[in-house]
Structure 1
């Protein structure tokens, strides 16, 4: 949420003027039915709640306010809530800072710093990764906007490290304007704002030219260039020269791109070349363009070539990640002197692990790869000779590679029991050293064990499942358990430290993470088996994981809570309608629930390459078969569900949550609450101020604790051992 105080967050969700905020607020408001019939390929589909799609309609706003009042009437009086609030605030406000988005330019290391209790992260120039006292603030969104409503989308330094482009957006919209800052002084260059470079649909980015006098950037339609319904589409690449009005920016590339194109830009180390990697929506298809010293753009790969990543080397070549006849990925080397795909050679053939990305230095290539969730860092020389693995802990995540000078690199690493930290690897002696850019844990997790196992899905597929529990936890079927997953968009769920998982564990709970099909855990085949007409596999995988937790006596259905967000919110909606008896509580955040009308929204059209379209008969059939709102059945006893949404969400329209709540409240035969937590000042989650995030987590965990019958007990304070005399 985009709020500055916990008090304001609570007040926002309970409109004092709402007629439902009084005595009758403990019952859900009655939702009017206005039946509409849509016909798809000869199939009639009834929709009684289509009217709830009209966000700006006064009746929809009134309904929304009444739902929020009902939700607050229930959540605000849950037992143990204030204790949970205090603990959540302690954990999320832990003053140990975190660092993200590290980037190096000409020896200058710049990053984005998260420093609670600050509401937003800020940009810092890091003098030394081993001494944080040398860092200085470069740009603080809280200085620009003390309300906490402004956040950083991305940063990009010039090759010489003297200037920094920053995209800033407000209210969770992700609609970012780019300004340029002088790195030495921290002052913005005057009259240097380029609007709408970043967006919640197609993302955004930029790439500087060699001397830092201008940059190529992603440009959304402006003004009346296109009709209103097209202004989140047709992203193109333009060039902006510093010191000139943005109206003078020149077109570079993209007039023939798909409507749902999404472009990433990168500059070569010498500044002579630029790449544009263009995605066809969210489904995993990419094409690559190259801009050379001749000032022209040339297409290097097409969608059908299955090249999905590109990175400049320091040896006059570009390295490509290809999944052509290699679903787990192979690495190609292509000389920039002959930039046609038929000239590329295989540097690293497909192996057992799934290649996720790579980082070239002058003598080697660091390759990030994973097998089922955890990741590792492999090294090969520039001829493909295996140089072994960088030493990292087991069941951990590796990412964020950046130069540390010479052949040394910095990388980020975290695990389920170790907070994120940045490390330096020195290939000369093979040593890994922890830097000062390391978070500390707000709690003792030394008694937590990590169990890696596999569930067997409906079709026999083995699905990785990670289980966190305190040592000595008895498997007697009575442990409150929280299971989460995602399963989509080629995104893997990798190990990471979560203080809120720690909150659950310190109360005696079991926490589980499912690595479902649809992600990238085992490469493109794993992704493809969980997308388009095969999306049902994702829900079968999750149910198999839930069943394993019950069968192996970790828990029982009434003690099993599940939660997920975005595509994971869709997951929650699908599994609760398919197996309502299997869960004791559900938290579904910013999810998609009407899969037949999702593509009518802006970002829903980008999702078509992942989910499919109702225009295709077979894809329509698959969508209807699992679309949560269409599979709610009257008279079914559904478990308690808390749905969350953000009014400014550019990725998932909040009408999904409204329609799902209306349908479930009407249909359920149980007394369990079906609640909507609709926030007026948030988006999909990006840029949510710290205090607002705390409020949301207090609601979510209070709800889970109460519905599973778990009494919250403040953790015992550890007494320090007496000092020796």
Structure 2
């Protein structure tokens, strides 16, 4: 990190005990000197505190002091979530400039004043003087009739949720009260109707309201601290106290009488402990039919319906990834069956309920095409179709039979982040963003010819100053096996000269992910603005393992082909240097989670290519990832190093923790992790930091561990600003970025 005061002595990293554990896997002895850091003992906590102090010694600099007010400025603007329509009510989240957390509101009109239903900023634990753990709203789900809303509440961002149900005022009351809450805030505030405590990893995709709005289904898991996240149960809860396990809302002439005891209002419909399969639920709001999808991680989805107290198979014995959406008597199937880039099929709800359905029986609504079908949302008698081509979005309107009506214009290199619609009205909403475009919420009148040439009406947008000379470009970089890998580049126009940067090579940050069918597309970050304003270059690589070109692109970066992901990062870095945008000493690579694995791999494979590495909540010990938290479920993506000798061999070749070499000069590296992460265990970052501090040359190698947060869920704005100050201070120092005087 060349910009530190050279007269100041650099601190030494904390001492770390070496307690070598040797085990034999497939005939190979593997030494692990830092296995003791896998435990959450008092000794480990003390070691983590020393590591944080060591990071402070490098990151508490004049650069940090200059960046903080710039980040606080861009953080203190309003932000808006997606719009969910239920009958005559519109639900959304709003984060005001002074709020640490978004609050949930309901409105009578899309752009009207709202009633606050849940305000996490007022919850116990979020007061700076409170001793309790901070709480946040991870998700919400509004009942089909709009009369109730369920809220997922987490403590410390650990993704184990309370489920709380709140009443919602009707549209007339919303209009009367405007922004006044009339007793409906803060939530979960006084007397929510239901409080189900610590139901594990239940989230919006594993929660579904019954058609009558008086009950719901949800998938609960065991707790992470008990090693029970893989134990799953599908449950039904009735607000009126009924517990009839066989009911689906369909074909019931009279509801059963409520039981005398409210304790019987919850019923377990099934239990499931397959570590590689996750149940999801959806309900037809018209008939009340409950459909349960069992999705195998990186495999197919089997669908069942719950009828007469039993699960009836609908789509089984298939490796196709399929989602189901019910609308107005039709079951729409979004699937990659015989379509690696996806297509949309349909059948009647009655035929779906009968079970034993074959894909060939369904009619094709939207066929496979060059672009990737992301979603098709029904509204009235139309469909709003979102596709991606070359990793950026397109939107179009179709009839229910798939006939194309018109395209909805979007900016160049934009990403549609979500689409929603009213069930019975020709009204849809979508979010759009890009590298140079703050997120905006747009409303579209699907039937209006007046809007035929527009993208609709912007009803909310993030109001932040963006440099007006930003350039966004896309290149296709050759990687191994002749793959053409998309790379986006964003920089200020005054950097450009005949299509490339002018003057000295600029500081640059390369970001990517490359796994689990996740596409990376143009996105906006307010905290990136100071770097771009200071003549930085931001690049995004769409590495294999993602879904930018469908399932074939994913399979080209998984299991034995995982090295392709790292090849693509390296190819993108070499292209940035070769094209004159930057030079190795001024190029950083960054990523988190699976992207942290990608970053760790290129750190150990090509340390000469980068001047800095930022590795967040990463997987790094790939011979033991399956032993912690959700790791076993990821063996379908990476392979099983313990059970499969072939997988052991190719994983050992790239496992970052096992490929640190003494005597090699490695770039400055910042590992960031979270004590309450319930997905990727913090021991990955701990062990890697310890090994590099003890064995590697170069550096420094820093570890920052945050408490009261997890894999990224529910962080308050104040914590996000602190994290961003750390991250960009590290990058500014390591890449020799200017003094921060250019402004945001």
Alignment TM-score > 0.5, same fold: yes
Relative distance call for 1:81 and 1:365 in structure 2 (3 A) is same
Secondary structure at 2:386 match in 1: strand
The aligned residue for residue 399 of structure 2 is 381
Partner residue in 2 for 1:603: 630
**1:667 corresponds to 2:651:** no
Alignment of 1:72-151 (within 5 A): 72-76=56-60, 78-93=61-76, 95=77, 97-131=78-112, 134-145=113-124, 147=126, 149-151=134-136
Q: Distance in 2 between matches of 1:683 and 1:626?
A: 26
Distance 1:196 1:146, change over 3 A: closer
Equivalence for 1:721: none
Residue 266 of structure 1, CA deviation: 2.0
More off after superposition, 211-220 vs 482-491: 211-220
Q: How does 1:443-592 map to 2 (within 5 A)?
A: 443-474=465-496, 475=501, 476=503, 478-592=505-619
1:358 aligns with 2:369: no
Question: Aligned partners of 1:445 and 1:309: how far apart in 2?
Answer: 40
Matches within 5 A, 1:202-281: 205-221=206-222, 229-244=226-241, 245=262, 248-255=265-272, 258-281=274-297
Contact 2:207 2:280 in 1 (8 A): yes
Q: CA deviation at 1:24?
A: 9.8
- 2:328 equivalent to 1:290: no
Q: Provide the rounded CA distance (Å) in 2 between the counterparts of 1:397 and 1:121.
A: 22
1:397 pairs with 2:415: yes
User: Residues 611 and 247 from structure 1, CA distance in 2 versus in 1: closer, same or farther, beyond 3 angstroms?
Assistant: farther
Give SS of 2:49's match. helix
Is the contact made by 1:159 and 1:271 (CA closer than 8 Å) also made in structure 2?
A: no
| Residue number in structure 2 paired with 1:437 | 460
SS of the residue corresponding to residue 384 of structure 1 reads coil
Indicate the RMSD between aligned Cα atoms, in angstroms. 2.2
Deviation of residue 311 (structure 1)? 1.0
CA distance in 2, matches of 1:54, 1:288: 39
1:7-22 equivalences in 2 (<5 Å): none
Within 1, Cα distance between the matches of 2:372 and 2:280? Answer: 22
> Does residue 678 of structure 2 align to residue 655 of structure 1?
no
For 1:305 and 1:49, how far apart are their aligned partners in 2? 40
Task: Please report how far the alpha carbon of residue 494 of structure 1 lies from its aligned counterpart in structure 2 after TM superposition.
Answer: 1.8
After superposition, the C-alpha distances for 1:237-268 in whole angstroms (9 at most, x for unaligned) are 1111115446652122344x623432332222
SS of corresponding position for 1:420: strand
Tell me if the contact between 1:355 and 1:368 (Cα under 8 Å) persists in the aligned partners: yes
Instruction: Quote the residue 2:658 is aligned against.
Output: 630
Contact residue 596 and residue 615 of structure 2 kept, 8 A: yes
In the aligned structure 1, how far is the partner of 2:44 from the partner of 2:616? Answer: 20
On the 8 A contact 1:54/1:60 being kept in 2, the answer is: yes
Flag the 1:47–1:303 CA change in 2: closer, same or farther, 3 A.
farther
- Aligned length in residues: 678
Displacement, 1:467? 0.3
The aligned counterpart of 1:12 is none
Mapped partners of 1:664, 1:26: distance in 2 = 15
Question: How far off its partner does 1:647 sit?
Answer: 0.2
> Which runs of structure 2 are paired with 1:190-205 in the superposition (5 Å)?
190=192, 192-199=194-201, 205=206
Can you give the 5+ residue segments of structure 2 that lack an aligned partner in the other structure? 1-7, 128-133, 170-182, 242-261
* Structure 1 unpaired stretches of 5+: 1-22, 718-725
1:308 offset after TM fit, Å? 2.3
Cα distance in 2 for residues equivalent to 1:288 and 1:254: 16
Residue 399 of structure 1: how far off its partner (Å): 3.6
Q: Which moved more, 1:541-550 or 1:528-537?
A: 528-537
Once the two structures are superposed, the pairs formed by residues 20-35 of structure 1 within 5 Å of their partners are 26-35=11-20
Matched residue SS, 2:346: strand
Classify 1:620/1:32 alpha carbon distance in 2 versus 1 (closer, same or farther; 3 Å).
Answer: same
Q: TM-score, normalised by structure 1?
A: 0.90
Q: CA 1:240/1:135 → structure 2, altered by over 3 Å: closer, same or farther?
A: same
TM-score, normalised to structure 2, is 0.87
